[in-house]
Chain A
Amino acid sequence: MNNTISLTLLHLAFCFTLVSFTPISALELHGTGANMVETTCQKTPFYNLCVSALKSDPRSSDADVAGLAQIGTDKLKAKATATLRQITALLKVAKDPKLKMALRDCADYYNAIVKYDIPVAVEAVTKGDPKFGVEGATDAANEADACGRGFKNQPKFPIYASNKVVHDLSAVVASIVQLLL
């Protein structure tokens, strides 16, 4: 019995030692870093997407709102670039002329998102005139929306999910940048 108790205490001691040696970031699961992400994401229209997108970047653990905005735009850029690649790949093999047309329009929209909308948002946040960032991110959302509407009369919408993520994430970024005004 004594041995059990001492063993238990020893293990407890080990655990507490372990905990006290852990880097701050692990503790911040319940600390200030995560709170900043959560409170910021609460002000966006897609909370879950916002939280998972921001938290997937280690920088978010001690970022301020401007930092979170930059992380958000980075994620958006990656997703939009990937979606553009998807569209290009689909265009190569598509045979149906209506599908091709819808895909080509989406390629135009995504070119605008990657080449213009997102860089404008990044520049606006880093240079300190965030209202242009809200506009850039909002435009990206609207362009993703326009891409989606091109498939309204199509039986299939192959990039539905990626496009939705780009749209929703753009809306999230716009909301975060709005907080900087």
Chain B
Amino acid sequence: MADISPLLPVSSSDGSSDLTGQATCRRPIKVVVSIFFGLLTVGLFAALLIRNNGSVDYVDVHENERGSLASMAFEKAENLKPVSRGLAAGVSEKSNWVFGGDLPDYPWNNSMLSWQRTAFHFQPEKNWMNDPNGPLFYKGWYHLFYQYNPNAAVWGHIVWGHAVSKDLIHWLHLPLAMAADQWYDKNGVWTGSATILHDGKIVMLYTGSTTEGVQVQNLAYPADQYDPLLVHWVKYPRNPVLVPPPGIGPNDFRDPTTAWLTSEGKWRITIGSKINKTGIALVYDTKDFINYEMLDGLLHAVPGTGMWECVDFFPVSETENNGLETSINGPGVKHVVKASLDDDRHDYYAIGTYNDRNGTWIPDRPNIDVGIGLRYDYGIYYAAKTFYDQNKKRRVLWGWIGESDSEAADVKKGWASVQSIPRTILFDKKTGTHLLQWPVEEIDSLRLKGKEFNQVRIQAGSVVPLDIDSATQLDIIAEFKIDSDALEKATGSSDASFDCATSGGAAERGALGPFGLLVLADERLREQTPVYFYMTKGSDGNLKTFFCNDQSRSSKASDVDKHIYGSLVPVLRGENLSIRILVDHSIIESFGQGGRTVITSRVYPTKVIYGAAKVFLFNNATELNVTASLKIWQMNSAFIQPYPNL
């Protein structure tokens, strides 16, 4: 900065000889003018100085508090508002904790925290996990890779973890598959997918965050194709194979899919991105996974949905009950486009028609297009990915289940996140609009002793205890019958605006709901997690059924998520209402109507743990009696552990 002080006007220098001897009435004007501009100059000069060096401390009302008890200003504690901007602002559930109000903060002790660890859901021995990566079946083993932080129970320093299983349930941990050891993935070895080629070889495409923080796509493959455990991986020496194309931001280009064959015999992949606030899926064709041609058009785009992460694209059969290999196309086949929306942390899917020639896809129902319609899961569930299991001819879905407690608690307990139980995914022939998800059948092998309850009558406004031994590892299959008379007699209301999330939960009594199960509850109902149906009748007489999971009283702790999750569930004429719930310590996976609507939630009780946990049937409706029949099995642990003697 130039030193301009010599330029500062000195009022005496110029006009002094003129000033002397002037009449007194003129002198003041000159002086005033000089002083005015002098001050202006000084002012500008000073402003310059302050502007450049300014480190005026912002709000620090009690700076003197530091180490100085005597001068402390004491304030009565005020309830600070938690950060709540509502889901409309597109923030994850965690940012909108509904606090218990008068309940004291619950300090977590080791007993409570260690109870939270799951017995039969996949999770590493410690630290943080997120997206499932590159799932596949190869030489007799199912493989799961996953985003992993080897250093802490929070996100960061992401590398690829690896585990194998013979049955998608009993997992064995293997060494890390890929570390952040190249310039093109130094800032993160992020999500990717596997493709099995014609000759049975595997290629893995994954996103790397480079040393400059740019998102690129890289190729990797097993070091030894004869090793069924696929322990070691090699990165293609001339990575990256794809960089953000013109018009796409360096941070908006990630999560390549499994490839499928085009009718021309080329491999085709899609990668999610965004242009302004429009979520899009880019399409690339390749013959060798090294050289790519980007198609002019997009697979699909939906305005207002923001960045599309973890895009998935796969065929489903409209008629058969098996999964389809990713390249299948033709009559009787629909294609699903799925995206994980960065803006609201939910996974959305839509069913539609794929055009192979120009690499585009159109939804069957544009009003429930990708990102604005159906979700895989209405609870905590993100970054899901399917793979075709050629072993059992099914399409299997993996999903990342994060925590909904505080990061401080995660750090204290030393781990964060689990994977969902893998689910088969099928087109719902009966509704034609939904996909059905169901836990893979291998989970049944964990069932120990079971107990049947037949035709249990639950009167309006009652709670019925179910006498089973332990209630922290359960598989519950329940069916509910309702008096059709009661349904007809119920008066329709024009206020048909029920929504699980904005309702009063299981405590809000309606004519035709809520009714269902209370899990992780005790007789005193100190803590409880209801999973239930709520039916409404419109003024036109039409019935709507909602399937909800209420966390509002799931724990006395105030630093856990207390939202109510759920959604409309289609119920067809003649169908009974059915629920399947897998309870596994701090995770509950609930399937309504055979998996038409699914809700996964994380529950962190402080009292209803170990032997204190029980299960109840409940009916909080005012005008409806319900009859329930159910089977409840104790579930064994899956004994997930490191692969022995590796």
Contacts and interface: CB of A to CB of B under 8 A. Distances in A.
Interface of A: 1, 3-4, 7-8, 10-12, 14-15, 17-19, 21-23, 25-26, 29, 45, 48-49, 52-53, 55-56, 58, 75, 82, 85-86, 89-90, 93, 105, 108-109, 111-112, 115-117, 119-120, 123-124, 126-132, 134-136, 138-139, 141-146, 148-165, 167, 170-171, 174-175, 178, 180-181
Given A29-B51, A146-B558, A10 B14 contact: yes
Interface stretch (B33-41, B467-475, B579-587): B33-41
Contacts of A158: 65, 72, 74
Nearest to B89: A178
Nearest to A172: B83
A120 B78 contact: no
B266 interface: no
Given A18-B45, A142-B97, A158-B74, A11 B406 contact: no
B188 interface: yes
B234 interface: no
Interface of A is mostly: helix
Interface in B73-129: 73-83, 85, 89-92, 94-95, 97, 99, 104-105, 107
Interface string B32-58: 011011101100110110011011111
Contacts of A52: 58-59
Given A23-B52, A25-B51, A152-B77, A161 B62 contact: yes
A18 B77 contact: no
Given A148-B80, A150-B105, A18 B44 contact: yes
B215 A128 contact: yes
Contact of B44 (A22, A112, A145, A174): A22
A120 B155 contact: yes
Given A4-B29, A26-B47, A161-B61, A82 B66 contact: yes
A74 B97 CA distance: 25
B34 A21 contact: no
A127 B209 contact: yes
Interface of B is mostly: loop
Contacts of B33: 4, 7-8, 11
Contacts of B7: 14, 17-18
Contact of A25 (B2, B52, B74, B408): B52
Contact of B77 (A12, A144, A151): A151
B1 A146 contact: no
B265 interface: no
Top 8 A-B residue pairs of the complex, sorted by shortest distance between their CB atoms: A11-B37, A52-B58, A128-B251, A112-B408, A151-B77, A157-B77, A160-B75, A138-B95
12 contacts: A1-B26, A11-B38, A15-B44, A25-B52, A116-B152, A117-B154, A128-B187, A134-B95, A148-B79, A160-B77, A161-B65, A180-B251
Contact of B345 (A129, A131, A155): A131
A14 B9 contact: yes
Contacts of A119: 154, 156
B17 to A, nearest CB: 10
Query: Of A1, A15, A120, A138, which is in contact with the most chain B CB atoms at under 10 Å from its CB?
Result: A138
Contacts of B85: 45, 175
B132 interface: no
A15 B92 contact: no
B307 interface: yes
Nearest to A133: B155
B572 interface: no
B550 interface: no
B407 A136 contact: yes
Contact of B94 (A82, A93, A139, A170): A139
Contacts of B188: 127, 129
A170 B306 CA distance: 24
B174 to A, nearest CB: 25
Contact of B80 (A14, A82, A131, A167): A167
Contacts of B97: 142
A56 B54 CA distance: 7
Contact of A26 (B48, B59, B342): B48
Contacts of B154: 116-117, 119-120, 136
Contacts of B646: none
A54 B126 CA distance: 37
A15 B65 contact: no
B92 A4 contact: no
A12 B37 contact: yes
B105 A132 contact: no
B80 A86 contact: no
Contacts of A10: 9, 14
Nearest to B153: A116
A157 B76 contact: yes
Contacts of A181: 90, 306-307, 342-343
Contacts of A164: 78, 80
A118 to B, nearest CB: 10
Interface of B: 1-2, 4, 7-9, 14-15, 18, 26, 29-30, 33-34, 36-38, 40-41, 44-45, 47-48, 51-52, 54-62, 65-67, 69, 72-83, 85, 89-92, 94-95, 97, 99, 104-105, 107, 152-157, 187-188, 190, 209, 213-215, 250-251, 306-307, 342-343, 345, 406-408, 411-412, 558-559
Contacts of B57: 56
Contacts of B59: 48-49, 52-53, 165
Contact of A138 (B90, B94, B412): B94
Nearest to B44: A18
A23 B49 CA distance: 10
B15 A58 contact: no
Contacts of B343: 181
Contacts of A143: 406-408, 559
B64 to A, nearest CB: 11
A142 B51 contact: no
A19 B190 CA distance: 51
B65 A56 contact: no
B74 A156 contact: yes
A151 to B, nearest CB: 4
Given A4-B33, A116-B152, A174-B95, A105 B213 contact: no
Contacts of A150: 105
B56 A56 contact: yes
Given A120-B154, A135-B94, A161-B75, 9 more contacts: A11-B41, A14-B9, A86-B65, A135-B155, A146-B559, A148-B80, A149-B79, A149-B104, A156-B75
B83 A174 contact: yes
A171 B75 CA distance: 22
A23 B47 CA distance: 11
B91 A134 contact: yes
A7 B15 contact: yes
Contacts of B48: 22-23, 26
B37 A14 contact: yes
A140 to B, nearest CB: 8
A71 B147 CA distance: 28
A80 B156 CA distance: 20
A157 B65 CA distance: 12
A160 B73 CA distance: 9
Contacts of B65: 86, 158-159, 161-162
Contacts of A25: 51-52
